[in-house]
Structure formats: structure tokens, C-alpha cells
Amino acid sequence: MGDRTARIDAAVSAASELIGFLQDAGPVNGAQARLIVEAAVRASVPNAEDWEVKESAARIAAEFRK
């Protein structure tokens, strides 16, 4: 895994953690969660592609399922 992929994965993980904390305070809908994840990734990797974010989210989700 390259540095770019690692930075995207780290941003997706951080956004996921933030979403979890926000859900403790109230509901977060899918559109809000997606916006948070995309903003976190773009702050870390400004030219990240949508497919990179989706692949990273799939990898992170698979880790949570284990």
C-alpha cells in the first residue's frame, strides 16, 4: 500500500471515528456521513478520486466486520 493510499485510509478512519461520536449525540444520515468522509479525505489528499475514497471505505468497513 502506497503513502497516498495510507493517507486516504487514515482520513477515512478518522472520519469514521468522528461520525461515531456524532451518532452518540444524535442521528447522522448517509449524506452527512459521506460529506464528512469526503471532506476528511480531501483535506488530506486534495486530488483524491471518488473511487479511491470508496475503495478505502470498503477496506475500512471490512476491518470493522472482523
The pTM of this model reads 0.88
Q: Delimit the domains of the chain by residue range.
A: 3-65
CB-based contacts of 1, cutoff 8 Å, min separation 6: 9
Distances (CA, A) of 6 to 43, 50, 63: 14, 16, 14
pLDDT tens per residue, the chain (66 residues)?
Answer: 689 999 999 999 999 999 999 999 999 999 999 999 999 999 999 999 999 999 999 998 888 776
**C-alpha span between 24 and 57 (Å, rounded):** 21
12-36 burial by CB neighbour count: b if 16+ within 10 A, else e? Answer: bbbbbeebeeeeeeeebeeeebeeb
- pLDDT of 1 reads 65
